[in-house]
Structure 1
Amino acid sequence: MMRKKAAGMSASSFSHRRVGRIVRTIVAAVGVLLGAATHAMAQQAFVTLHGDPKKEAWWLIADFHPFTTEVRGIPANQIRKNWCKATEFRKDLIPRDLLFEDGTDAMEESKLSFAIEGQFDGTATRQVALVGVFQECAGPKGRFILILDQPAVGTPNIRFVSAVREDRQFGALQKGKNSSIVVLTCMQCDDFSILKWDRRKRKFGRQPDPGVQ
């Protein structure tokens, strides 16, 4: 009777030790994975600067790194088939010290936004125009502009897409005259173009002349 009891205790002790080793192994593996994920996130800043912001405007030396696979619920590869990532510009993704100069919101001062809303096609349907950065599956990156219909429910409908490969992808928007959209590639310069609804062609397009009639 005593031998059976001892044997039972030995088996139980062995089982507990085995479970303990498995638990420790799992905890260690989770720790490694979390550490790797944290390191990857730390390495993958959305904005990196290639130059001295004290000597050059930050948006001229900024390189953006898209990290999402959809924009407003639309998969990146449905916007363009060769895209693997696309991230909409948002203020909360950009370091505050870049956007705020001397405590002032530089974009607010210039009346610029990364996304603007309006009835840009002259109908009752509201649209949103937005800018962001894309990355092709093959690697190249660039700036994109989207105009989307905003339905009450469901995924937005793409009305316009413009994408260009760029080493420096900064872009911003501003409401123009007669429901037009001003597209800028800088914050304090004259490098801009105009997007406007063409009633005859029934689509959005760039104005040949910056002056909107």
Structure 2
Amino acid sequence: MLHTCTFVRAARRIIALCCWLAVAHAGAEPAFVTVEGDLKSIAWWVLADFHPFTTEVRGIPAREIRKSWCKATEFRKDLIPRELLFEGGTDAMAAANMSFAIEGRFDGTATKQVALVGVFEECSGDRGRFILILDQLAEGKPKIRFVNALRTDHQFGALQKGEDNSIVAWACMECDNFSVLKWDRKKRKFDWQPDPAEQ
């Protein structure tokens, strides 16, 4: 009987220690967005460092998107501190007609797609920004139609609907650093459009 009580007490201590370690570890995880630098002179999206924490995007495992990825997190407004998004009390993204995800029939078919941006982390630890276009199917998980990934220390990205079902991808909010993605009927795939200034 004495051995049983000693065993039960030891088991309770081990369980309590495991719970404490789990809570301590969870508390040690970095926030999704960290910002270091002077926000009075440099925009938050330039200073922001994003820390992906999920292993899937819209039900698709990160490793199915790219085999080298261990984590991938879609940008969402609820993951970013309000004081950054609503600097000065105004939603700068909404004012610029930008979003982290946009819906449309970007390939001209009846199937609705969603284009979204986020941050990935490779199993090696390298991080970067990604753009996904997914078919939104009536049943099951979405189907990947396009993936673009860029290793970068500047992971911020936003999207905007462009002309003629195009998708405008921004690397900032107040600059001219953007690219246009469009369905190419001849190639039967999404492709980046050439910059008119370079032609």
TM-score strictly above 0.5 = yes
* Rounded Cα–Cα distance in structure 2 between residues aligned with 1:85 and 1:19: 40
Counterpart AA for 1:123: T
TM-score by length of 2: 0.92
For the aligned residue pairs, the C-alpha RMSD in angstroms reads 1.7
Give the stretch that moved more between structures: 101-110 or 144-153: 101-110
Query: Among 71, 86, 92, which residue is 2:78 paired with?
Result: 92
Distance 1:51 1:150 in 2: 39
Is the counterpart of residue 132 in structure 1 residue 118 in structure 2? yes
Distance 1:21 1:185 in 2: 56
The number of aligned residues is: 197
1:195 matched residue in structure 2: 181
Which residue is equivalent to 2:40?
A: 54
Name 2:10's counterpart in structure 1: 22
Q: Deviations over 1:123-158 (max 9, x none)?
A: 000000000001111111110000000000101111
Q: Relative to 1, partners in 2 of residues 1:146 and 1:210: Cα closer, same or farther, differing over 3 Å?
A: farther
In the alignment, is residue 179 of structure 1 matched against residue 165 of structure 2? Answer: yes
Tell me the distance in 1 between the aligned counterparts of 2:191 and 2:15. 56
Q: Distance in 2 between matches of 1:48 and 1:117?
A: 28
- The 2-side partners of 1:48 and 1:198 are apart by 38
Do residues 38 (structure 1) and 26 (structure 2) align?
A: yes
Mapped partners of 1:67, 1:207: distance in 2: 32
Candidates 74, 90, 95, aligned match of 1:109: 95
Cα deviation, residue 96, structure 1: 0.6
Contact kept? 1:129, 1:147, Cα under 8 Å: yes
- Report percent identity of matched pairs: 66
The Cα of 1:120 is off from its aligned counterpart by 0.3
Contact kept in structure 2, 1:147 and 1:158, CA below 8 Å: yes
Secondary structure, aligned partner of 1:146: strand
Runs of 4 or more, structure 1, over 4 Å off, are: none
The structural deviation recorded for 1:18 is 2.7
Question: What is the SS of the residue equivalent to 1:135?
Answer: strand
Contact 1:193–1:210 under 8 Å retained in 2: no
Name structure 1 gaps, 5 residues minimum.
Answer: 1-10
Alpha-carbon deviation of 1:29?
A: 1.5
SS in 1 for 2:173: coil
Please tell me whether the aligned partners of residues 179 and 196 of structure 1 are also in contact (alpha carbons under 8 angstroms): yes
Question: Cα gap change, 1:78/1:16 in structure 2, threshold over 3 Å: closer, same or farther?
Answer: closer
* Residue aligning to 1:77: 63
Deviation per CA, 1:89-148: give whole Å up to 9, x if none.
000110110000121111111111000000000000000000000111111111000000
Distance 1:75 1:20, change over 3 A: closer
Question: 1:182/1:97 Cα in 2 relative to 1: closer, same or farther (>3 Å)?
Answer: same
* Structure 1 residues 31 and 157, CA gap change in structure 2 (3 angstroms): closer
**Unmatched tracts of structure 2, length 5 or more:** none
Question: Larger Rg: 1 or 2?
Answer: 1
Distance (whole Å) between structure 1 residues aligned to residue 97 and residue 39 of structure 2:
22
Moved more, 45-54 or 28-37: 28-37
Deviation digits for residues 33-52 of structure 1 (CA, Å, limit 9, x no counterpart)? 233233223xx111111311
